[in-house]
Chains A and B, each alone.
Chain A
Amino acid sequence: MKYLYFPGCSLKSSGRSYEESLLSVLKKMNVGVEEIDDWNCCGATNYMAMNERNAIGITARNLALAEKQGKEDIMAPCAACYMGLLKTQKYIETEPKVKETVLTNLKKSGLEFENTSKVRHPLDIFINDISLDTIKDNVYAPLKGVKVACYYGCQLTRPYATFDDQRDPQSMENIVKALGGTPVEWPIKTRCCSGSMTSTVSEIGLRMSYLILKEAKDRGADVMITACPLCQFNLECFQGKMSGKYGENVKMPVMYFTQLMGMAFGLDKKELGLHRMLSPELSLS
């Protein structure tokens, strides 16, 4: 099993521990990964707000580079990159004018493009290719008694993804169960964390992320897991600020789902990037 890996910008900087833990966990399960050579930024939500053709164009370059490198599926761990890649494929399929511009530009830069790669999120890969049984087989320290709030955020399941339910996804819950933990029931797991608004309109951004942490705490979660570097950043790095601002302590461990998997697999803290986290540590005892 092998995948072409599209990390995106965050996984190389503030979200490094997502890359570290994802690659460590995949290695433990003998899954091969090859980074797409010379990939560029996916444009996130900002490119679409400025120029549609260019937003589709820069992402199409990544898809074309992947095709050039191999026939394997593309693995995109960041929810925004993942959604952007799916959206680009869809636009090229359904909007002939956009397609024409993109193909002409790709040709100019020496790239062929057939739009044939499959874009996958690691959650999809873990559940549908690797299987929950293999995950179970790798558990070394079961998460006995650990209550986990699985947070999906928005763009991971909406609007293009088909690997899970758009309103009540279960992929992470199933992984948590395979690790021996207990997922908590909570209705707001696909509510938006506000994206980059924590740094632009922080009065709104912080409040949105605060509500998510508070709900998880109220439901008795010991830890929250995420599958997107932006959600992770918002929920992990502003806990002190929010607790002060809204007069309620919302400090709790927030980590990537791959870090929690790695902990249950008995992997080393450093391999999982746990030394980089700013939220309280989850102790398994």
Chain B
Amino acid sequence: MNSNGIVNKYSNTPVSKSSDAIFVKTTIPRKREELLKWNGWGYKDSRFLVKDGIIHFSGSRYPIGELSLPYFTQWVEDVLGVDLSKPHTSKDQPVEEECPYPLISNDNYKQIVHLNVPFSTKGIDRLMRAHGHTVYDIYTLKESFFDRIPDVVLWPSCHGDVVKIVDAADKNNMVVIPFGGGTSVTGAVECPKDEMRTIISLDTSQMNKILWVDRENLVICCESGIIGQDLERELHTMGFTVGHEPDSYEFSSLGGWVATRASGMKKNTYGNIEDLLVHVKMVTPKGVLEKNCQVPRMSCGPDFNHIVLGSEGCLGVITEVILKIRPLPKMKKYGSVVFPDFESGVRCMREVAKQRCQPASIRLMDNAQFKFGQSLRPVPGYFGLIFDGLKKLYIKKIKGFNFDSICVMTLLFEGDVKDVQMQEKKIYEIGSKFGGIPAGQTNGERGYMLTFVIAYIRDLGLEFNVLAESFETSVPWDRAVSLCRNVKYVVGEECKKLNIEHYLMAARVTQTYDAGCVIYFYFGYNYSNIKNPVEVYEQIEEKARDEIIESGGSISHHHGVGKIRRKWYPGTISAIGVQLFKATKQELDPRNVFACGNILKSKL
């Protein structure tokens, strides 16, 4: 809106000169399937596979690449009852004829051509943008097909392109679903089954320039399609970092982070996305929502940045974001502390939060996850011997730790050498007050490395009738332990009822705040004796989420609502809150162009 109160379809800030912009080489090609798995997580060359009865990890992108994992092999057999000699093969990549014909009228097709923005109606392009990474998505890819996929993919290359697209969609009764990195775990990029209008998947991947860098104020302006690893790589060469590292940051996009209120592993040092965001532009059917200045904070009525943050593709397309940057830290160091039990670990984390001396990242794995992590070490000799031989004996015999209750806190320190030393000292001091003993850097490092590798395990699991998924929540400190217990109990009882014999239910505390923390659950089960494994999984997760909420936890800390958690949205924000959201939607998108149906089921 300009000063006359007239709605301006175009942004009122001048377009950047393209000479200032940094054209970032994108890691991910337009033909995503050339680099990424079409039906699973991550790079094609990186995956778990079974060779001679032993699990290996392939490729050289990750530190465990090209290594055999005998302990892990044993672990999956023991815990998940997997028979590695009987792999299950999934569907091949569908050929063009197998994909549904796009629903586009001739008129609409003409409109799209007229936009002069690259587009595709090829089946595989549309399929690659029809889903995120929920277990439902992946299972569907491997075993069947989606009921509805986008009809056309468009690749805008700048804010102006997006304005044109949204405008055309609004005028011609088409649907737009913004697509960033496609790492959503809430069903957010899926097409609503019963949407009969033309669905455009607006792929932001070609909108990935760093438009300018402001070293004085330590901010950069980026287009929303830039993905995490590209952003960091470019900034590192300039000596900076944003420091936003969700576990998906190799593949997820800036726009996606803003749209889902993402949280990065190192938020203690750098902040969550809402702390990093200084300015944002969102293109809606009614115009562009943005502020007129690039200030650190302002008092100006309710902050509409928070309508953009977490909008989950329902209100508009985020096109440009001004983000804070920091000088690269001089030093990066890992660490770990083992505790006799989860409760002591949580008490320690609480104390660390109280003293506000969190390092960049601090996480606590429960016993199940600790054991799992331990199993993911290659044959002894490579990663150090922390829990082998003498040290294991020391921990068990001398400290009286029980291997079945022990848990580990992993740490990542960043900063000047001196700062890091001080931080370390403080953390280990607090740790020892709660019965913790330092367990070395290697363990910490492995913990963080696993973060990126864990996502690859699901694909292995699905080859052997194991279905795995994670879900998260935030909770006040005083309820953290009981919440974990309750949820584990509920999942355990559900499994009993469903005759699920082999399953893993693990929890970890992944973030700390002044007033509470974040709990991340992993659940995986062997579905050999179950006919509808995904439905059963969803049923279990639903029970678990009910229990989370009854135990004082939230609907989600960072994954968002999407489609899979709509059930709990009204209860979370009150009836009036629902009205408010609906009114916002009605105001910004009266014809429901952004009909993804996230957060609240949109009327059709």
Q: Do A and B form a real pair? A: no
- B residues apposed to A, CB below 8 Å: none
